[in-house]
A = this chain, B = another copy of it.
Amino acid sequence: MYYLGVDLGGTNIKAALVNEEGVILQEASRPTRLPRPAEAVCDDISEMCAELAAGQEVAGIGVGCPGTIDGGIVRFSNNLDWHDFAMGPYLEARTHLPVYLANDANAAALGEALAGCAKGADSAVILTLGTGVGGGVVLNGKLLTGYTGAAAEPGHMVITDDPNAPLCTCGRRGCLEALASATALIRMTREAMEAHPESRLHEVAARDGVNGRTVFDAAALGDETAKAVVEQYTHALAVGIANLINIFFPEVVGLSGGVANQGENLLAPLREAVAPMVFGDAYAEKHTRITTCQLGYRAGVIGAALLARHQA
């Protein structure tokens, strides 16, 4: 039996035919072409699904969608400009298949938890360090979703009440997202460059602009300013991860997004910073594994398909 996974983004619609193990058999992609009516986007999705499903036994469709999802309803999606759109019923009517929705970051987290970096683990917290800090929590193979229709938003955990802490997109100060996203890292890099004209950050940035790699590259050249930024960033991320470990004590914490591509450059100091912050770690027999995600952009379609598999 197969499942269709759809990852609906503001730029592209990605879809895949996926088996029960989370292995992709066929993929497709189309531009989302916003702005246009939600129904038109869904008609494209159902066409893509029909093409991928042709001649296959498909049991259900999972869709990862940006925004707040409540059952089959997209309550609010800033990216898509959708409000209270009954996406699930609409797609079911067009495809004649059961449709399951999840927030896109949550669907990707489910993919990593079940078929990627936490495959076989009993629980995982996945954090995406991108424009924001998104993620999802998977306990015993199921996404954690809340009573209020929203899913875990670990990026909006406040980790400092410093009145000078950077403002978060949510309007508060000191959220993990405002301190540990790629956006935050880039902001910190720019601030450090301004304060330190002598730093080799300028030399690295001259090559391909300031991005999430800049400080890591300059730190590798021995630049002290860059090392300080890496340390400050790692500390904030470590506090956030330790808080989540102290709440969930998961088997795996998986990091994705651009910053996670640093691999051991990031993971080694991060693990060292997290360990003393974990409650009772010295007495624990088992310890949370902190690692990077493995599925890349495919986590979204795989996770969406596995959502359908587990709910169908």
* Closest chain B CB from A242 CB (angstroms): 7
Residue A146 CB within 8 A of the other chain: yes
| Interface residue A157 (Cβ < 8 Å from any Cβ of B) | yes
Indicate if A161 sits at the interface (CB-CB under 8 A): yes
Shortest Cβ distance from residue A179 to the other chain B in the assembled complex, whole angstroms: 9
Pairwise interchain contact A147-B288, C-beta atoms closer than 8 A:
yes
Asked whether A157 lies within 8 Å of B251 as measured between CB atoms, the reply is no
Main secondary structure of the interface of A (DSSP, over half): loop
Quick one: which of A231-251 are within 8 Å of B by CB?
A: 235-236, 239, 242-244, 246-251
Please report the total number of A residues contacting B with Cβ < 8 Å: 52
| A202 to B: closest C-beta gap in Å | 29
- Does A31 belong to the interface (CB within 8 Å)? no
Whether A246 touches B68, Cβ cut-off 8 Å, given contacts A122-B147, A283-B76, A287-B148, is no
Seen from chain A, the residues whose Cβ lies within 8 Å of a Cβ on chain B are 68, 70, 75-76, 121-123, 137, 139, 144-154, 156-162, 170-172, 235-236, 239, 242-244, 246-251, 276-277, 279-280, 283-288
